[in-house]
Amino acid sequence: MANRLTRIYTRTGDAGTTGLADGSRVAKDAPRIEAIGGVDELNSVIGVLLCEELPAAIRACLDGVQHDLFDLGGELSVPGHTIMSEAHSKRLEEALDAFNAGLPPLKDFILPGGSRAASLAHVARTVCRRAERAVVALTKSERVAPPLLQYLNRLSDLLFVLSRTLNRHAGGDDVYWQQGKNRA
């Protein structure tokens, strides 16, 4: 890492712009910044999930995801620079297959809930979907490499499967939706 921050505040963003890694400045509400912020928020939520007691395989998987998300955010912050590849999504697919193999088939919709760790995985899944929507919005005005969208799409699926796995790890089950439960 070549640059070290010796001072956190720079005052360069006081007028509503922020700097990209290529040195250009854009509005803080630009679609690219919205996408970067969504990925950053997702990484932070996964950090909260990692504060829970987790099986070693899930912890290792999520640790790798956090590094990937930093790379993904880095790619977004340097227009035209490529870091992510299809191999990143392939790794998530392999994890998805491995974790899903130990789960019963899903026959009904489930509610976000169960154990605290599973609930946090559901929160991370919804934040991932929002980050994905922000990247999709960015594609309407700028070029975004397909592996970024693929990765976020696979990641939300993985977080769903991890929530189910974490409920079982905690000795519980999925929380099933009961259509019309409160109908009079």
| Residue 53 located in a structural domain | yes
* CA 140 distance to own-chain centroid: 21
Which pLDDT belongs to residue 28?
82
| Residue 82 located in a structural domain | yes
Query: pLDDT tens, 142-170?
Result: 999 999 999 999 999 999 999 999 999 99
| Residue 103 located in a structural domain | yes
Percent of the chain residues topping a pLDDT of 70: 92
Which candidate, 55, 61, 54, places its Cα nearest to that of 155?
Answer: 61
Query: pLDDT tens, 67-108?
Result: 999 999 999 999 888 999 999 999 999 999 999 999 999 989
| Residue 159 located in a structural domain | yes
Q: What are the distances in angstroms from CA 38 to CA 90, 94, 113, 178?
A: 22, 25, 23, 32
Which pLDDT belongs to residue 22?
81
Which pLDDT belongs to residue 74?
93
Considering the entire predicted model, what is its pTM? Answer: 0.90
Which candidate, 69, 77, 74, places its Cα nearest to that of 159?
Answer: 69
| Residue 131 located in a structural domain | yes
Helix H or strand E encompassing 131: helix 116-139
Pick 18 or 147 by higher pLDDT. Answer: 147
Domain count within the chain: 1
Which residues have C-beta within 8 Å of that of residue 42, sequence separation ≥ 6? Answer: 69, 124, 127, 128, 131
| Residue 70 located in a structural domain | yes
| CATH code assigned at 62 | 1.20.1200.10
pLDDT band at 14 (very low <50, low <70, confident <90, very high): low
pLDDT at 8 over 90: no
For 83, the domain range is 26-172
Distance in angstroms (rounded) separating the CA atoms of residues 88 and 110: 28
Which pLDDT belongs to residue 16?
75
| Residue 18 located in a structural domain | no
pLDDT at 12 over 60: no
| Residue 10 located in a structural domain | no
* CA 162 distance to own-chain centroid: 13
pLDDT band at 184 (very low <50, low <70, confident <90, very high): confident
Q: What are the distances in angstroms from CA 64 to CA 8, 47, 89, 106, 180?
A: 27, 12, 12, 27, 40
Which pLDDT belongs to residue 93?
98
The residue-averaged pLDDT of 48-56 equals: 98
